[in-house]
Amino acid sequence: MKFTNKQYVRWDDLDALRHVNNAKYLTYAQEARFAWSGMLEMVVARAELDFKLPIYDGNIFVDVTLWVESIGTSSFTMIYEITYEGELLARVKTVQVTISPATKKSRPINETEREFLSKYLETE
């Protein structure tokens, strides 16, 4: 299963070259990930971003579709596609590590989390 979330592109997301600043794409992915599941105690350990087409306009909504690519012992990998009107703008890949809020260290994914993540597990 995939999850899609709309993210608003603000005018101040545009940089001096009049396109969305590259760091904002990770913000769109982050906001979609939080909307997908704020319940998971996790941190991002790695992020990769491939730009396909620039975003030249603010005051629009882009779609961020995400899914889980793989699940490990204490980490999982996610894929995000950022699109506008059906055109792929960027593809993001992140690795999340589950953590203990008390120790701030990694911990194994528990059964409830694994069950949730498994619903979104897709291979391309």
pLDDT per position as a tens digit, 81-106 = 999 999 999 999 999 999 999 999 99
Q: Could you tell me the residue ranges of all domains in the chain? A: 3-119
Q: Chain-wide mean pLDDT for the chain?
A: 95
- CATH class in words for 3-119: alpha beta
Q: Name beta bridge partners: 70.
A: 77
Amino acid at 47: A
How many residues appear in the chain?
A: 124
pLDDT band at 38 (very low <50, low <70, confident <90, very high): confident
16-29: average pLDDT? 93
Given a cut of 70, is residue 26 above it in pLDDT?
yes
